[in-house]
Structure 1
Amino acid sequence: MNAKVGAGIVNIITESLYDRPIVVFREYVQNSVDSFGKSKIDEDEFFTKIWLDNSNLCFLDNGNGISRNEFYNKMIDIANSEKKRAEHIGYKGIGRLSGLPYCNKLIFINICSFKNNDFQEFYIDGSKYKELKNKLNDYDLDDLMNEIGTYSDHLKGNKLAKIQSILNLHKDIFTKQDTGFLVILEKVTHVLMQTIASADFYQELGWLLPVKFKDELYESNVKYLLEDLNEPIPQRSVIPAKSYNIRFNDKIIERPITKNMLRDYTCMIDLNYAVGFHSFNRDKIAIARGNSFFGIRLYIDNFFLCDENELIPILVNSGLIKHSISELIQSVRGIGAILYITDKINISTNARRTFIELTDKDSFDFLELLAEFVRNIYKARYELSKYRRNKDVMEQNSEKLEQLRESANLALQKLASDVITVEVEYSVPKEFDDFDDIEKKKFIKQKLTNDMNTRIKEYLSQTTSFDYVNATMDFITWLVSNKNDKL
């Protein structure tokens, strides 16, 4: 016996689960990425194109599409998916309806063969959806979709000509792949149009979707870090930052991080269930105005999952951190961090894809690791602030100041999982010439240590040759050849 559902189930699935217009972009790009996983062409040949044509929003990809004999059943089955849970992307099978509340008609075109103009169509009438969603009538799930949807196995006449005219504008992506999928949100609502028209919309897509880092970052000292994140994790077959060619209105979408958004220290982080990187300043942990790379962003399959706005309240309400939510949010916004979930067997997302499912020991262990990371950020901010407040009022060689400096260094080292020190500019003291030789040596040692740490970091970011025995001489040679560079 087929299960009976109220017509309002569609409302629950769409408007309740997908209550932010921008998630429409995530859901349809996820469907595209999923289809790429079954294709045999090179990854550089995969394309997802998104564009707004008057009031119609379109999503086109050159993935494998859906086999002809499965298309209809896929379209009417909104609650199930054959994808393995570990794959995660759209595994609940309901993402395809996310655009329904935001348009008059939701059209799905299965591109069986671009060359042969072989297309299938299933569209959902938005007016019927709005009429039925508040009714109490019971339907079989299949009957409900048939009530609001219309299926065509072969497009002909004007419908065929319309789709041909759209696809011919993008025929370049079908040179090596003859199949694909097209989604059209016809006559999108004012709410979705406002989202697209917002000043930061393009940047929001860059944070949301699985896109590439800007080329300029591969010319900076984080080059090797980013390259590591684009390699498979051993024994998990997961590429943390796997990215795709995604365009909006023919403009490539990139992760919106530039070189000048990075702080003076950037390093990898491994939380067992996730890896990533974080960037912070060694002199203070503070919000940098105008820098949009701030806080903690959590990703799965390189799709945005949540940030500190969702994470921090859960950590506090779970009793994992004792400080106030506002204090912690302010602290983590003093750094920039991206974390990619790599253990997709033990960590899964909730139905809304806004956080992880907290259902077993692994998920709570991961939550504890996230809490420890946040505590380390808070501690570093606190210790650096205490040191900075006192360094100008205490004597440079006082025992108390040395204790504060050491506490700040320890907090930084815990945050970085590396031996780093407070980034302090040691200016020549006014009384330098009056100090004895021991004191002068102390100040000179401080300056040399600070300057050399900076140069060593710069050298390691540039070198491509690694010789352990001659490492010191190689570094000295590099220093001499770059002696005119500013320290």
Structure 2
Amino acid sequence: MAKKTKIGKDVIDSLALSMYEDARFVFREYIQNSADQIDIAVVKGLFKSKKDGLINIHINKPKKQILIADNATGIESSKVESVLKNVAQSSKRLGVNKGFRGIGRLGGIGYCKELVFETTFKGEKTKTILKWDADLLSTIINDRSKNEEAVEVIDKVTTAYTEKEKASEHYFKVYLIGVKSNELLNVQNVREYLSMVAPVPYESHFILSDKIYEKCKEWRIDLDEYQIIVNDDQIFKAYTSTVYEPDRDGKKRVDEIKDLKFFEIYSSNKKSKLALGWYGISNFEKQIPSINLARGMRLRKDNIQIGDSGTLIKLFKEPRGNYYFFGEVLAVDQNLIPNARRDYFRENETLKAFEQELRYLLHNELHQLYYYASQVRSATKKIEKLAVFKKDFEEKAKNTGFTNDKEKEKLELEYEKHRTNAEKAEKELDKLSNKITNPHDPKNRIFKNITAEKKKVADLIKSKPASGKTKYATDELSRLSLKDRKLVSKIFGVIDKVLTPDLSANLKEKIKEEFK
């Protein structure tokens, strides 16, 4: 007779206490469960739409307590213990529901002293409370002198009872009492995390979001957006149309998302739609700095983020490519199934096909875009340098004057060098422009954005500084003799050699003021 299989207590540690690196996953898991129940409430007619559902999170840092509550279906009293005590046993459908493993509800148990579930089902006059003694659970698991089975341990650390409730009420609440993680009690930190991970709407000031909603209607997909409140503030996705970088006053604008490009990813035989998505079109001035919370191409399933900002780096031609973009890849095929940690998908044939097609997009199309932008920007800057140098040259020729003939000759040679470079750059821009054969090609927008204020080299050459009487910096020193002016001119030459242009100009101006 075969021996009875036993499941030891350490399985609880593996599934509930040690699976995740980021403590904030707790919120994702409970939100995921609440979202599923809101969907069910819509199907059952309890809600007209998902907009009637509410997921409310309250973090009380002084009391070290967190409440995560939803107003969805709740759980029938007769089913509470079987649903909330059983581990890795779920009635949810794989590839259909957002949660399906039956382990996420225990996520908070490793970060508090006591985990409490409180729920009621519409029509019932009682609410059921199920308490998990997290401290006792930890003590039992860490006691290596005993080898209890998992079921025995769960029965020891849980207590269930009922209290009166209004028959009209329906909700599910999770209390984390005696929270041990400061990360979970940091309200701003949690808001930022959920703004990229949770299935929430785009912020209204992200003006390009209307294009995403319009495209989703065309694609006939539901974005799965839910109303999530954290300490009285609704959470929205953190996308913006402005790209910032840090400065002394906090941050400054360095680029702008001018448009969005949408894409569809199909299996190699084109029979199955695997994913949809979008990415932002900017001037791609530089990699988007980390101060921009939403940077990177994000992978999502059921509008819940899979992994983090760097999950898709491996599919780019070069790692830095990921951080030139804001964007989302929305997995839609049911066989793209999040793994237990939700940091990627399960390995299967659909995932292989998905990676192959997505790699082509990221490795080729997106790489070419920021590389193309770099080429356009480089050529444009050479023309801009000519314009700036010409302006400075004219200022010397007409107002401040040259230090001496040597400086004038040097600057005239530099001017010719800039002019030659600018002419070559304009030819390069013509080549880059000719590469655009489709007006809807993102390169077209990039080219126009970067070159919008570029002056033509021909116009710059036409207004080349006229030759005439040369003005010198010492011409205004009327109090000095010609001999003394020549001496000052030599001194100015030394100053030009040893000081930076700004300091040199400032010092020479001070000397001129003394002898005018």
Normalising TM by the smaller chain, what interval?
0.7 to 0.9
Contact 1:65 1:179 in 2 (8 A): yes
Q: 1:211 to 1:69 in 2, by over 3 A?
A: same
* Structure 1 position 214 matched with structure 2 position 216: no
Query: What is the match of residue 329 of structure 1?
Result: 319
| 1:212-250 Cα shifts (integer Å, max 9, x gaps) | 112233xx3541322433x4854xxx51x2211110111
Alignment of 1:156-167 (within 5 A): none
Q: Distance in 2 between matches of 1:149 and 1:35?
A: 23
Structure 2: runs of 5 or more not aligned: 244-255, 267-273, 383-420, 463-516
Give the secondary structure class of the aligned counterpart of 1:6: coil
Instruction: Give the TM-score, by structure 1 length.
Output: 0.72
Give the secondary structure class of the aligned counterpart of 1:370: helix
Q: Which amino acid aligns with 2:242?
A: N
Q: Which has the larger radius of gyration?
A: 2
Report how many aligned residue pairs link the two structures: 391
> Which of 330, 349, 357 is the aligned partner of 1:369?
357
* Structure 1 position 133 matched with structure 2 position 141: yes
Q: Which amino acid aligns with 2:324?
A: G
> Which of 16, 19, 24 is the aligned partner of 1:17?
19
Contact 1:294 1:333 in 2 (8 A): yes
| 1:292-321 Cα shifts (integer Å, max 9, x gaps) | 3321111111111123423224x4xxxxx6
Q: Distance in 1 between matches of 2:289 and 2:122?
A: 51
Q: 1:398 to 1:332 in 2, by over 3 A?
A: same
Q: Which amino acid aligns with 1:124?
A: W
Q: Which amino acid aligns with 1:367?
A: E
Query: What is the match of residue 50 of structure 1?
Result: 57
Alignment of 1:194-343 (within 5 A): 194-197=183-186, 199-217=188-206, 220-229=207-216, 231=217, 233-234=219-220, 238-239=221-222, 241-261=223-243, 263-272=257-266, 273-282=274-283, 284=285, 286-287=287-288, 290-313=291-314, 315=315, 323=317, 328-343=318-333
Query: What is the match of residue 318 of structure 1?
Result: none
CA deviation after TM superposition for structure 1 residue 25, in Å: 0.4
> Which of 420, 423, 434 is the aligned partner of 1:395?
423
Give the secondary structure class of the aligned counterpart of 2:344: coil
CA deviation after TM superposition for structure 1 residue 278, in Å: 0.8
Give the secondary structure class of the aligned counterpart of 2:29: helix
Query: What is the match of residue 70 of structure 1?
Result: 79
Give the secondary structure class of the aligned counterpart of 1:86: coil
* Structure 1 position 381 matched with structure 2 position 370: yes
Q: Distance in 2 between matches of 1:266 and 1:82?
A: 39
Q: Distance in 2 between matches of 1:245 and 1:232?
A: 23
> Which of 35, 38, 44 is the aligned partner of 1:36?
38
Q: Distance in 2 between matches of 1:340 and 1:397?
A: 40
Query: What is the match of residue 416 of structure 2?
Result: none
Contact 1:279 1:336 in 2 (8 A): yes
Contact 1:47 1:245 in 2 (8 A): yes
Q: Distance in 1 between matches of 2:299 and 2:439?
A: 22
Give the secondary structure class of the aligned counterpart of 1:266: strand
Contact 2:264 2:275 in 1 (8 A): yes
Give the secondary structure class of the aligned counterpart of 2:311: helix
Contact 1:68 1:112 in 2 (8 A): yes
* Structure 1 position 425 matched with structure 2 position 452: yes
Contact 1:6 1:135 in 2 (8 A): no
Give the secondary structure class of the aligned counterpart of 1:194: helix
CA deviation after TM superposition for structure 1 residue 277, in Å: 1.6
Give the secondary structure class of the aligned counterpart of 1:215: coil
Identity across the alignment (%): 20
Q: Which moved more, 1:380-389 or 1:247-256?
A: 380-389
CA deviation after TM superposition for structure 1 residue 64, in Å: 0.7
* Structure 1 position 83 matched with structure 2 position 92: yes
Contact 1:379 1:411 in 2 (8 A): no
Q: Distance in 1 between matches of 2:209 and 2:330?
A: 17
Contact 1:8 1:134 in 2 (8 A): no
| 1:366-385 Cα shifts (integer Å, max 9, x gaps) | 11222122212222222332
Q: Which amino acid aligns with 1:14?
A: A
Q: Distance in 1 between matches of 2:155 and 2:375?
A: 66
CA deviation after TM superposition for structure 1 residue 270, in Å: 1.6
Q: Distance in 1 between matches of 2:298 and 2:307?
A: 6
Q: Distance in 2 between matches of 1:57 and 1:246?
A: 15
Q: Which has the higher contact order (CA 8 A, sep 6+)?
A: 1
Q: Distance in 1 between matches of 2:460 and 2:22?
A: 64
CA deviation after TM superposition for structure 1 residue 85, in Å: 0.5
RMSD over aligned Cα atoms: 3.0
Contact 1:282 1:412 in 2 (8 A): no
Contact 2:118 2:129 in 1 (8 A): yes
Q: Distance in 1 between matches of 2:218 and 2:139?
A: 48
Contact 2:298 2:311 in 1 (8 A): no
Q: Distance in 2 between matches of 1:142 and 1:289?
A: 45
Contact 1:51 1:57 in 2 (8 A): yes
Query: What is the match of residue 350 of structure 1?
Result: 339
Q: 1:371 to 1:430 in 2, by over 3 A?
A: closer
Q: Distance in 1 between matches of 2:339 and 2:71?
A: 29
CA deviation after TM superposition for structure 1 residue 346, in Å: 1.6
Q: Distance in 2 between matches of 1:369 and 1:341?
A: 12
Q: Distance in 1 between matches of 2:185 and 2:275?
A: 31
* Structure 1 position 183 matched with structure 2 position 183: no
Give the secondary structure class of the aligned counterpart of 2:211: helix
Give the secondary structure class of the aligned counterpart of 1:357: coil
Instruction: Give the TM-score, by structure 2 length.
Output: 0.69
Q: Distance in 2 between matches of 1:410 and 1:8?
A: 62
Q: Distance in 1 between matches of 2:204 and 2:226?
A: 14
Q: Distance in 2 between matches of 1:60 and 1:183?
A: 6
Q: Which amino acid aligns with 2:190?
A: F
Give the secondary structure class of the aligned counterpart of 1:309: coil
CA deviation after TM superposition for structure 1 residue 420, in Å: 4.7
Q: Distance in 2 between matches of 1:232 and 1:83?
A: 29
Q: Which amino acid aligns with 1:126?
A: A
Q: Distance in 1 between matches of 2:109 and 2:95?
A: 27
Contact 2:373 2:446 in 1 (8 A): no
CA deviation after TM superposition for structure 1 residue 95, in Å: 0.1
Q: Distance in 1 between matches of 2:460 and 2:98?
A: 66
Contact 2:379 2:425 in 1 (8 A): no
